[in-house]
Amino acid sequence: MLTRTITGFLFIAAIVTGVYFNAIITMCLFSLIVLLGIDEFYGLVKKSKEIKPIKFWGTITGLSLMIILCLHILEIVEYKLLFIPLLMLFTTFLIELYRKKDNPFINISYAILGAVYIVVPFAMLFHLGFYANDSFTSEYSFQIILGFFILLWTNDTGAYLSGRFFGKHKLFERVSPKKTWEGSIGGAIVTIGGGFLLSMFFTNLSLTNWIVIAILIAVFGGLGDLVESMLKRSLKIKDSGSLLPGHGGILDRFDGLFLSVPFVYSYIHLIS
């Protein structure tokens, strides 16, 4: 428990500090997380004898996609440079053609999945740092990004505590035997309360929008956790990695983010 607490504190401090200062530091932080996450993802799936994705190519493709997307958001490079990582994704098919491996299209699928599944949500979240007063701007603000993380952590903590003290009815036993309906509902209630409190301090979004985002995070963050559990169960492993002592790997810590960010990002676009 002590190891888990210390790791959790340092992890949160790194995220909060990186996001708070400016867009460049946030971009570097997210790019590092993406790099570690992609590497972990490929290491994870390669434990299966049937899956042999092109780890090196997938990693540089994903990292290139992340950096160019962020630089485009920062208005440093033009959108046409996005064709570079796009062509790299399609080059995966050509590389696999000459590898002479079994199950080539499974390898291609996992290679592309690793680059897209981890990169796109973090790029979307980075773009949310430029939203304020009902529109996207060129000025960076930490409010929505930090608010998102706070609500995500609130949901995780609320669900864990509610499940531990009140959990009786299994939520999705086939994929995650320990998760309960009571935990999910408790996490959602706490997260909605967190959205209400955030609206008092983070004014880039209205109270209504913070509440909606809290609900989206509670629902799809929990589902993202289940999707990650489904991946690990299909590969017959417990944790995605051991980078964070007491917490598992990068994918374990951001599983709720990968699925909830696209829904939050889409909602923000719909109201802008």
If you count them, how many residues does the chain have? 272
CB 59 within 8 A of CB 41: no
**50's tokens:** 């049937």
Angle between helices 250-271 and 23-45 (to 10 degrees): 130
pLDDT at 162 over 80: yes
CB 69 within 8 A of CB 109: no
Whose structure tokens read 């499940």? 163
**187's tokens:** 């996490």
Instruction: Give the residue among 91, 86, 93, 89 at the shortest CA–CA distance from 72.
Output: 86
Ranges 3-17, 50-64, 140-154, 236-250: which has the least confidence = 236-250
Query: C-alpha distances in angstroms, 95 versus 39, 51, 108?
Result: 19, 15, 9
pLDDT confidence band for 253 (50 / 70 / 90): confident
**17's tokens:** 């500090």
Provide the whole-model pTM. 0.92
**What is the distance between the alpha carbons of residues 178 and 158, in angstroms, rounded to a whole number?**
15
**Domain limits of the chain?**
2-271
pLDDT of 196-225, one tens digit each? 999 999 999 999 999 999 999 999 999 999
